[in-house]
Structure 1
Amino acid sequence: MEWETSLTKYSKYQAAAGLSERTIAGRDELLRNLISFSKVRRPQLITTEDLLDFLNRPHYRTGGPLSPGTKQVERSYLQNWTRWMHQSGYIAYDPGSRLPRVKVPRRQARPLSIEHINALMNSDIRQATRDKVTILANTGLRIGEVVRIRKSDYDWHTNSFHSSRKGGLIQTIHANSAVQEVAQRKAKERSEWWFPSPYTSSQFPNGGGHVLMKSASTAISKAMRRIGITDTRLTTHSLRHFYACILLAQGTQLHVVQQLLGHASLATTQLYIQVGEEELKQAVSQLPTIGQRIPDSHNTDSRNQLLTA
């Protein structure tokens, strides 16, 4: 079986299982990257060693290793595909079943500060990049959700728009004044997409599509590095973290922030609760005073008598 046949059959299988188009497209893109990286001619020839080499490849942008979180997601995608290949009878054994579990450190919020964002907005970035930063910081959307916004998604009566979020969730996003300004500018442009691309891609082989998530994320990350943000933990996704941390710091109820972020679990939203140093000091200062007991002279004399008896 050829690669294209395998990918087509796998996509049909996932669609029948009710998976979202976004999930299917993400898995397809990963497998195409595997094909390009491994140079394996047919899917039946993929080995565990090929999958290990792929997970250990350098990051396309930084040149460093992939983050544990990225490895964990990619491992699950690869295992899902190899399990399907094995259960469908296309391969004799499941090479993905032998992949080691990925140790992922406990997640923490990594928000950009308002100073970071102001510096970014005041730099010489392109207007399209500036608009993406505005939307990310004011809606909490993921970059992959931002690039897919269409004119027809926007409701001018309510100043809100629909977004297809992770897990196939369709959610109404309310636009504040900053996002409304972006919407007014986009309404005057010719394309149906807010962020159209002049190029063809695997998603849009005939053109007429939107900017791809990876391209948009890379543009923002490069702009961040140009203005001196050198902490590699701060990425495009840190704008989403900024949004969540600001809302929680201002007293927005946790379940409201969960809804705004499109999280399925409240536990995920809790990761964005940041505790400052002053709050930690204040908490410790409220502990009862427990000091070392200094023995009185009577007890000291008694203890000395026992020692010399």
Structure 2
Amino acid sequence: MQFQDTTALEMFVDYQRAQNLAVTTIRNRRSILTTFARKTGTLVDCDVFTLRRYIGRAEDVSPGTRRTERGALIAFYTFLHDEGLRADNPSTKLPVVRVPKGKPRPFTREQIDAMLNSGAYSRTRAMILVGYYQGFRVSSIARVHGHDIDLASMTIGTVVKGSKAVRLPLHEVVAELSLTMPADGYWFPARDGSGGHVRSTSVTDLITKAKVRAGITDPKLTPHSLRHAFGTDLVEQGVDIRVVQELLVHENLSTTQIYTGVSESRKSAGIATLETRSVPERSGRGAARIAA
């Protein structure tokens, strides 16, 4: 990247930190913008036609990825315009990316059991348990700390999207697990001696390896599928969708509905609730004419 591009990107990073945006959001946006600059050869001075060409490039890119890239570009060029670093904002003319409604991609209970019994080390097994029994994202799994656990109230604290701190009910499996984990430190400490926790990517890698060892080949199943399984299984057990929404800490119910699949057995049970009724074998029109 050119000097002005690098400088502008660092200024944008500083601005986002001042907004107290999540570290993962800042890191992902930096990666998107750096890749964009490398592939197009421009960043600060980019025009709307280059932006559109990049978002709509003829590559195997998912609609969700295109939408995420669009969001990062809009945030960056809006920042440049507001700060007077550009006279215009080319991103205002970017079309909306149409994304099909998402579908749940949960692990089955059998698949979760297979991962737990795949030869995974205790560290990885603990990550899988927290992901499934608490419905945590990998970022929340990575930073579980002993101080987050309150066995007296049976709750666990975490930080969700938007840097929002919440306390959630603690599942008994995770409560039991806590007795074997550090009470005064991170459950999954970084191995570099920094005293911090592992990166989210490390959690993803370890759970993915357990998935592969378990013989699960579906590419659509990812560590995030543990969260989908959490939501889906709660619904299967008859938990109200609003309760599931609160446990997943979703702002909108529509987001929760993406996470919560409905099994064929529940569909069949649902349609079976409609009462049967007797249906006449004949129309009865002939008898009606005779009577007339």
Q: What is the TM-score of this pair, normalised by structure 1?
A: 0.76
Question: Match of 1:133?
Answer: 128
Name which of 274, 281, 293 aligns with 2:261: 274
Question: Are positions 1:194 and 2:193 aligned together?
Answer: no
The answer (yes or no) to whether the contact 1:135–1:179 under 8 Å persists in 2 is yes
The CA deviation at 1:4 is: 5.1
Question: Match of 2:177?
Answer: 182
State the distance in 1 between where 2:165 and 2:219 align.
32
Q: What is the TM-score of this pair, normalised by structure 2?
A: 0.80
Question: Match of 1:248?
Answer: 235
The CA deviation at 1:220 is: 1.6
Q: How many residues align?
A: 283
Question: Are positions 1:44 and 2:44 aligned together?
Answer: yes
Change in CA separation of 1:225 and 1:8 when aligned onto 2, cut-off 3 Å: same
List runs of 5+ in structure 1 lacking aligned partners: 59-64, 201-206, 300-309
Secondary structure at the residue paired with 1:219? helix
Secondary structure at the residue paired with 2:44? helix
State the distance in 2 between where 1:133 and 1:166 align.
20
Name which of 79, 85, 88 aligns with 2:83: 88
Secondary structure at the residue paired with 2:198? coil
RMSD in angstroms over aligned alpha carbons? Answer: 3.4
State the distance in 2 between where 1:241 and 1:250 align.
14
The answer (yes or no) to whether the contact 1:85–1:91 under 8 Å persists in 2 is yes
Question: Match of 1:104?
Answer: 99
Question: Match of 2:25?
Answer: 26
State the distance in 2 between where 1:235 and 1:275 align.
19
The answer (yes or no) to whether the contact 1:161–1:173 under 8 Å persists in 2 is yes
- Deviates most, 261-270 or 69-78: 69-78
Question: Are positions 1:13 and 2:15 aligned together?
Answer: yes
State the distance in 2 between where 1:289 and 1:110 align.
41
State the distance in 1 between where 2:179 and 2:46 align.
50
The CA deviation at 1:66 is: 3.9
State the distance in 2 between where 1:291 and 1:163 align.
61
Name which of 219, 227, 234 aligns with 1:232: 219
- Percent of aligned pairs sharing the same letter: 29
List runs of 5+ in structure 2 lacking aligned partners: none
The CA deviation at 1:281 is: 4.0
The CA deviation at 1:161 is: 2.5
Change in CA separation of 1:220 and 1:52 when aligned onto 2, cut-off 3 Å: farther
C-alpha deviations, 1:4-30, integer Å up to 9, x for none? 5434432443455xx4431x5413432
Question: Are positions 1:146 and 2:144 aligned together?
Answer: no
The CA deviation at 1:69 is: 2.1
